[in-house]
Amino acid sequence: MGDKTPIRIGLMGFGQTGRQIFEFASRCKDLEIVAIADIGDPKILHYLLCSEVKDPERHRLEGNFLINERSRARMMPIDLPSEMPWDVFGVDIVIDATGKYREQRYMENHLDNGAPRVLLRTLPMDGVDRIVIPGINDSLIQAHDRMISASSGTTAALCLLLHILGTEFDIECASMTSVHSYTNDQALQDYAGSDFRRSRSAAENIIPNTHEASAWLGKILPEFEGRVLTSTLNVPIHEGCLLDVNLVMKDSAIGPEDINNLMRLRAKDHPSVVDVAEDPIVSSDVIGNSHSLLFDAKGTIKAGSNIIKTLSWYENLGHAARLLDIVRLYAQLDQTEEAA
């Protein structure tokens, strides 16, 4: 974007993803967070931000404004999209980073209150104009898209893996298990919740869980519609996730090194999105990595004649980075449309 006017971003939710988005944007000349909606005490939100970044002195709180050398964001004690006056702040796009307001009606609330576009950090519950995953379908975006989803960190990692391998090999079907760090909607101690297993302590247990990726996969990769089973194991670590994917290949001649070589080759096409780890890494090694998919070359094995097992890594930071990539994609598209 050069020295042009920064993209004005409204941020709904200042949890982990919201804070990561803010920190990324604060280091970019082309982005500016102008307003943050969160019911948390601004002093506590500022404290949490400063506890996570390398140079916390960059960010200071002055009244209801979170300030650094690049931006001045108004903190708004608002919980619902219907209550946030985005038109007052002249935003170009709103990122809903709450993970709560996934229904179309909430996205329409954002639009009705002055947001030209709204981008969900999660998979939607119902209709959206587009699910965008950089490295797969970013070239298909349209200027008239208003309600957009960036899918999820797990979904993006899975889709990137399938997309890359599917361009070269015939995959009959696949199963994915995400070995996922615990999430903030889990209880730290046993506590009656929405289902039996998720009522158990996240700090003490490996908890089997469902995952929505398979329900939306056909919208992103139509060729894999109905051919991929997805599930999750929530484990007691705070960050760093493992993607365990078993692929049933149509060609029994395909071996682990064929898979690894293709991943190495295709990673060069999307260097900020996909990378390949050649070392024997573990979950803590992926913390701070902003790729959407870190393929584990040492984890590829073959079982029988047609099954290939792959391992890949990712963490939430990569998903936060892709959200801002999507913001830039739409800003560039708008500029192209205006110039035409």
Query: For 143-161, what is each residue's pLDDT tens digit?
Result: 999 999 999 999 999 999 9
Average pLDDT, the chain: 95
CATH 3.30.360.10 domain span(s) along the chain: 153-316
List of residues 6+ apart from 57 with CB closer than 8 A: none
Cα-based torsion angle of the residue sequence 117, 123, 128, 132 in order, rounded to the nearest 10 degrees? 70
DSSP 154-182: HHHHHHHHHHHHHTTS-EEEEEEEEEEE-
pLDDT in the model for residue 127: 86
The CATH topology of domain 7-152+320-339 is: Rossmann fold (3.40.50)
- What is the residue whose two structure tokens read 């919208």? 219
pTM, 2 dp: 0.94
The CATH topology of domain 153-316 is: Dihydrodipicolinate Reductase; domain 2 (3.30.360)
**Percent of the chain having pLDDT more than 90?**
91
Could you tell me if 221 and 167 are in contact, meaning their C-beta atoms sit under 8 angstroms apart? Answer: no
